Every structure is written in structure tokens, then in C-alpha cells.
Amino acid sequence: MTLHAVLQLKGRSMVNTLQPTHTHAWSNLMFQSAIEFASTPLTVLSGAIPTGLRGSLYRNGPGTLERGGDRVGHWFDGDGGILGIHFTDADATGVYRFVQTAGYQDEEKAGKFLYGGYGMLPPGPLWERFGKELKNVANTSVLALPDKLLALWEGGLPYALNLDSLETIGLDDLGSLKGVTYSAHPKVDPQTGDIFNFGVSLGASATLNLYRSDATGAVQQRGSIPLQGLPIIHDCVLAGRYLIFCVPPVRINAFPVLFQLKSFSHSMTWQPEQGTEILVIDRATLELVSRARTEPWYQWHFGNGYETDDGSVVLSVMRYEDFQTNQNLREIATGQIQTPARATFWHLRLDPQTAEVLETYRLVDRACEFPVVSPAEVGQPSRYTYLNIRRQASANDDQELFGAIARFDHETGTLTEADLGANRYPSEPIYAPDASDPGRGWILTVVYDGNAQRSELWVYASDRLNEEPVCTLALPQPIPFSFHGTWKPA
């Protein structure tokens, strides 16, 4: 059976793993399930921990992609595993825990898959699958609140964890949310502490639910906007007085999902004739200001957004030409990529009163993703964006993952790169402000070294990515690739 045939079967039944015959170094990590570890001092491999690096790094991603000899149907189906790295005056310690969701506990006890997910159906005949709820995998991102860490997933509510030990506290409705979803990409206003997030409710039609929380995470305000069809929305951008959504032309066919004939992933179609719809929301009222359609593209992630002096809004976004990225991400979980999918970094300027795009052009014409700015600049003008990028040496290898991180300077249009070398794979770069010098920052990335088959934490000075990291730390064991993370100052 070919790998392609296996991928076609994934949405309909469980199949055993077929190890690819030709692989890149990153693929080895896809076949290793994480092993939890309690608080462990981390060994400094090179350099020294900066004195101003005080706080905690948290990362979230699929910790296991297999149960009982069966593989998940999509990378998004793996159970969430959280890495925490705590920096104090004394040392740096690491801890790794699976999020103890109800579905995870059920399947751990059974030793096999019991639930459906984004890219897979529940096991068993149709009459047993019908009516089974989707498993909350809590595997996409994290939100650090004063007294808890939220493990986020956009198909349901978050799970709360202890900030230090990462022990699971339980499902969290943030004080008032029941029967809705809570996205994996909240935006925290650095000036007010307000947290803006959203979730999409699917039915005969879709609704965009909007939430504003205070700094504790408790929801203080809600709004809702009707959507056309059944789209998927992964991220939004905070831009001064506005929340901006770009709704790509992907639509879910509800019938096969409802009757457990196909997974969500297998029920999505790319409909470029629909165009991308831009929604502008007033952040104060959570009401729609304007909506308009423009050319089609797909995006998972935005960089940042802000208002300009002339009243227009600028935002940056990682654009794909189509929805092949979904198949590409499914294949990553198999250890071998056959479907190319490249995002490039784009600038957009629009009129918030009409949602009309006034200006658009490409900023970075190389495969890149996971844009991040300093937390102090979210929703405000920001000169630098940090991102993952493919190494120059493998720029045309669509079977390779990102092997470098970079800083894009929006004033000069230049990239400053940190090339980690062959077979080393950095996670999303996270900006950590210096605890004592507000003008200084550090870039933290968890690196899988495929040469030694181990994971490390690399720390760079944010303004010197083209130099050696100021510090590298050994992690106790290989950490599965994660999606998103955050920094919580001490």
C-alpha cells in the first residue's frame, strides 16, 4: 500500500503506521511519543543564562500521535503536551506534562483511540460513531493568566493547569462560557490587560462569537457576528481600536460531519470563487463595523496590526495561495511530505470603515510562518516581526521543515537570520522582555537537533540573531514539535 493510499484511508478508518523509506531528520521525532517529566534542573550547554531572563516559557503541541499501533488522522489530532521552562535567579528548570483532558484519560485507560478528531473518525461501525462527541485535545496554544495556565484548542473550551507543576486543574469556562468554543489565538492588549478572543459556532450556518476578558481571564463582554456558510477561522489581529478577521474561502460540508461519514478535515473544500472576506470589529462594542470581499488566499496566522495617522489599518499576515497546507500538515504526522505548501509574509492596509483593501504587497518571498512581535507592541506599531523561515540551503526543498528563525525589519525591509545548521529545527520564536532593561529582549526557541536526536532551548539576543545564541540549555529528552507558546514574566 502506498503512503498516498494510507492518507486517503485516514479519514475513514484506523490504519497501522507505515514508516516512510526516505526521510528528513525531523521525521524521527514524529514517531516518538513524549514522556512526562517533573521539575528538572536544565544543564547549560553553552554561554550563560541572561540575568534579565526571569519568568516562564510555555509551549503546547501534540505530545503523541499514536495509540495501540494506530496513528492519528492529522497532526492536529494529537493529545496536548505542555512544556514549561522556569527561569529564576538560581537556575532554569523544565517540566513536561500531558493535559489530562477527559478524552485523554479515557484513551489512556483503554490503550486505544475512542474518539474522533479534526482529521479522524471514531473507531467502530457507523451506528457506534453517530452522536459521539469530538475529543478536546487542548493541543494548540497556551494563555498564561495570573493564577493558571490555559491549554487552548479551538474546538472547545480550554483546560486550566497549574503554572508551576503543569498539573491539570480541569475544564475552564472562564466564568460564563458554556456550549461555545474558545480560540487558540487570544490577543492581549498590553496597555489595558484586556484579552480578546473568539470562537466559531457551527450549525445550519456559522456564528463568530467574540469575547473580551479582563486580565484574570474572566469574560466581561460578548458579541456575535453571523457568518456566511461554514468557514474555518484560526486567528485574528488586534489593530488599535479594531479586531480584524480575514475569513478564507474554505467551507465545511456539514452533512458528512454530522453523520460521522467524514472528519472535519476531509469535509473541507477550497472555494476560491468566494474570495477572502474581511471583517472589521469595533473592539469597544464587539460589533461589526464593515465587511468586504477581496482576492482569495488562506492564512493560519497574522503578525500584528495597528492604526495609522490617516485612519487606515495596517496588518501583516502569512498567506498561502490555497488550502494545500491542510494536506501538508496531515502528511507531516506521517513523517514524509508529498504536498508542498508555502506561506509568505504579506503587508495589507485597509480602510476600517469599508473593509476595502487599499494596499497589499509581499514582505518576505521565502517559505516562512509563525510570526511573533514583542508583547508590548501587540495592536500597536511594531518595527520587528520574528518568524520561522526555511534555511537558504533548503529553500527549494518542500519536504523540509523550518531550520532557521529570523527578524524582519519593517522599516528597512531586511531579514536578520539565525541559521541553526543542517537537521536542526526551531520552534516558533518567542519574545521575552528583559526583566530589568525594557529596551532589551530575548528570543527563545525550542530546537530539535536531528543530528543528536535531542531537544534543546536556544536563547538569542533579539537584536543579534545573526550571532551565536547567548545560551543553550539541554532538555531531559526529545520534545515533540509544538505549535505555539507564550512567555510569562516573573
CA dihedral 246, 251, 254, 256 (to 10 degrees): -140
Let me know if 420 is exposed, middle or buried by CB neighbors in 10 A (0-12, 13-18, 19+): buried
* Range of lowest pLDDT (19-33, 67-81, 180-194, 422-436): 19-33
Ramachandran angles phi, psi of 106, nearest 5°: -60, -45
3-state DSSP call for residue 161? strand
- Looking at domain 3-489, does it have CATH number 2.130.10.10? yes
> Residue 5: is its pLDDT beyond 70?
no
266-269-272 Cα angle (round to 5): 160
Q: Residue 489: how many CB atoms within 10 A of its CB?
A: 13
Residues 6+ apart with CB under 8 A from 19: 31, 335
In this prediction, residue 74 has a pLDDT band, given cuts at 50, 70 and 90, of very high
Contact 244, 237 (CB under 8 A): yes
Residue 218, CA atoms < 13 Å, CB-side half-sphere: 5
Mean pLDDT score across all residues of the chain: 94
What average pLDDT score do residues 174-179 get?
93
pLDDT, one tens digit per residue, over 371-386 is 999 999 999 999 999 9
Q: Residue 131: how many CB atoms within 10 A of its CB?
A: 10
Cell 498564561 locates to 144
Residues 6+ apart with CB under 8 A from 474: 42, 43, 45, 454, 456
Amino acid 126: pLDDT: 82
Residues in the chain: 490
> Residue 61: is its pLDDT beyond 50?
yes
pLDDT, one tens digit per residue, over 457-470 is 999 999 999 999 99
Residue 78 and residue 333: Cα distance in Å, rounded?
Answer: 9
- Residue 345: beta bridge partners? 318, 364
Q: Which parts of 216-275 fold into alpha helices (H)?
A: 254-258
pLDDT, one tens digit per residue, over 325-365 is 999 999 999 999 999 999 999 999 999 999 999 999 999 99
What average pLDDT score do residues 392-396 get?
90
Total-model pTM: 0.94
Contact 481, 425 (CB under 8 A): yes
Radius of gyration of the chain (CA): 21
Residue 305 and residue 316: Cα distance in Å, rounded?
Answer: 7
Residue 95 and residue 99: Cα distance in Å, rounded?
Answer: 13
Amino acid 226: pLDDT: 97
Residue 189 and residue 380: Cα distance in Å, rounded?
Answer: 9
In this prediction, residue 14 has a pLDDT band, given cuts at 50, 70 and 90, of very low
The beta strand positions in 248-354, using DSSP E, are: 250-252, 268-270, 276-282, 287-294, 302-307, 313-319, 344-351
In this prediction, residue 125 has a pLDDT band, given cuts at 50, 70 and 90, of confident
Amino acid 124: pLDDT: 87
Contact 327, 268 (CB under 8 A): no
Domain ranges of the chain: 3-489
> Residue 17: is its pLDDT beyond 60?
no
> Residue 235: is its pLDDT beyond 90?
yes
Residue 44 and residue 471: Cα distance in Å, rounded?
Answer: 7
Residues 6+ apart with CB under 8 A from 490: 54, 55, 56, 87, 88, 435
